[in-house]
Structure 1
Amino acid sequence: MNLAKKFTAPKGTILFSPGQDCPGFLILKQGCIKVTLTGSSGREVVLYRVHPGEVCLQTFTCLIEDQTYSAEGVVEEDLQGDLISAGQFRQVMEQDDAFRNDVLTSVALRFSEYQQLIEDVALTGFDARLAKVLLRLVDATGIVHVTHTALAAETASGRAYVSRRLAEFARRGIVEQLAEGIRLCNPAELAQISEQK
């Protein structure tokens, strides 16, 4: 797209924060953005992650409604993409049917993920949520390299409760808590737990 400017950002960069104006629409080609919301209590929850080909709902809402951001976006993996200014985004949405269809399809998928998040928090037991997150974040060596605080954000809960449930998982031999993270000792049992309501 000739209207776009090349955009890069290294891991750890804060792309946007609550109250910030949106600079434009990012067509992500490489990398990952984690989008989180922090409540007045200081508790943080991970809303979603943006991967190549996906749309950030925060950005989409800001551009369509001419609002500021209400969440924070942080680069989890070095990213590369093309940035379209706010004015150009509106123009392309009006004039380019293929672009508009791609964006709206991605927005619909993101809303489905939101619905799943709400369902998980409201209707799924905590152990199932924790098991899902551990299985999603595990690396090729079988270790989840996150803190208990980060797991609390991923599961929309408190750090102390995460620590208690991980201790119980460890007592049952499902996980092992290490200095560098959490080793999944029994992924099959975690998968069973993740299916419980």
Structure 2
Amino acid sequence: MSSNAAPGSVPMTETERLESRYPVLAALSAPARALLLKSAQWMRVPAGAMLFDDRQACEGFPFVVEGTVRVSKCAASGRELPLYRVGPGETCIISSSCLLGHEDYNARGVTESDTLLMLLPKAVFDEMMAERPFRDFVFHLFAERIADLMQLIEEVAFRKLDQRLAALLLGKGRLLHVTHQQLADELGSVREIVSRLLKSFADQGLVRLGREQVEILDPAGLRRLSAEGSVKA
């Protein structure tokens, strides 16, 4: 933990870091807070680990203290559509809905980096929902995630793949160290289609392609393409 502490300072404990990420915990009643901390199940998970998968039972409510969890919907063909990411201080809408509805998971969660999280057991989550600050916190972030998912649905349904790819390339710097497969995964598409679109972008002088990298040559052109779309997938 000391790597996150300033020189000469006392390293924060896991509980202190949890509370700094989730200020709502300070608003809980003393008994509720004590129960939550007593029931906390701490987990250190390496990058690339599957936290949950489709049709698995939901065992608890995760609080992410470090790292990022990528939540995706996967098809039997192996294709997947990224739904959202859960970072420190955020919540997982899939976990929330499964706990509230007493249903199994209907998506997959994989760590994108080394992750520290606290899992609140289902029974304790149910008790915490009686606490108004905790309930408001869960439903507020629930509403935010729903808005994000509605935007994703709009992107997939109404924007062409070339527009989405152009938008994905923007805002990541001039040189992106990324594979065509990684871009396809981000877009919920397949590598062959993304490779064809990238070649078209290169032919138009928008990008230069290299081994596992994409160099942005004309960001203004990509922005126009993102807004209008002109390449058929």
Identify unmatched segments of 5+ residues in structure 2. Answer: 1-35
- Aligned counterpart in structure 2 of residue 161 of structure 1, from 172, 177, 193: 193
Q: Which residue of 1 aligns with 2:121?
A: 85
CA distance in 1, matches of 2:177, 2:55: 31
CA RMSD of aligned residues (A): 1.8
CA distance in 1, matches of 2:176, 2:123: 41
Q: Which has the higher strand share?
A: 1
Query: Percent identity, aligned pairs only?
Result: 38
- Aligned counterpart in structure 2 of residue 19 of structure 1, from 21, 45, 55: 55
The alignment covers a number of residue pairs equal to 193
Residues 130 and 155, structure 1, Cα contact 8 Å, conserved in 2: yes
Q: Once the two structures are superposed, what CA deviation does each residue of 1:110-167 show, in whole Å capped at 9, x if it has no partner?
A: 111110111011111222111122225x3x5x33333222222222323221111100
Q: How does 1:164-179 map to 2 (within 5 A)?
A: 164-179=196-211
Q: Once the two structures are superposed, what CA deviation does each residue of 1:63-116 show, in whole Å capped at 9, x if it has no partner?
A: 11122212211100221222100111111012x211111111111111111101
Q: Once the two structures are superposed, what CA deviation does each residue of 1:148-189 show, in whole Å capped at 9, x if it has no partner?
A: 222222223232211111001111221222213222222232
Calculate the TM-score normalised by the size of structure 2: 0.76
Q: Which has the higher contact order (CA 8 A, sep 6+)?
A: 1
For the pair 1:118 / 2:160, whether they are aligned, the reply is: no
For the pair 1:134 / 2:169, whether they are aligned, the reply is: yes
CA distance in 2, matches of 1:196, 1:78: 38
CA distance in 1, matches of 2:123, 2:228: 46
For the pair 1:104 / 2:104, whether they are aligned, the reply is: no
Letter in 2 for 1:163: S
- Whichever of the two has the greater Rg, that structure is 2
Identify unmatched segments of 5+ residues in structure 1. Answer: none
Calculate the TM-score normalised by the size of structure 1: 0.89
Residues 125 and 196, structure 1, Cα contact 8 Å, conserved in 2: no
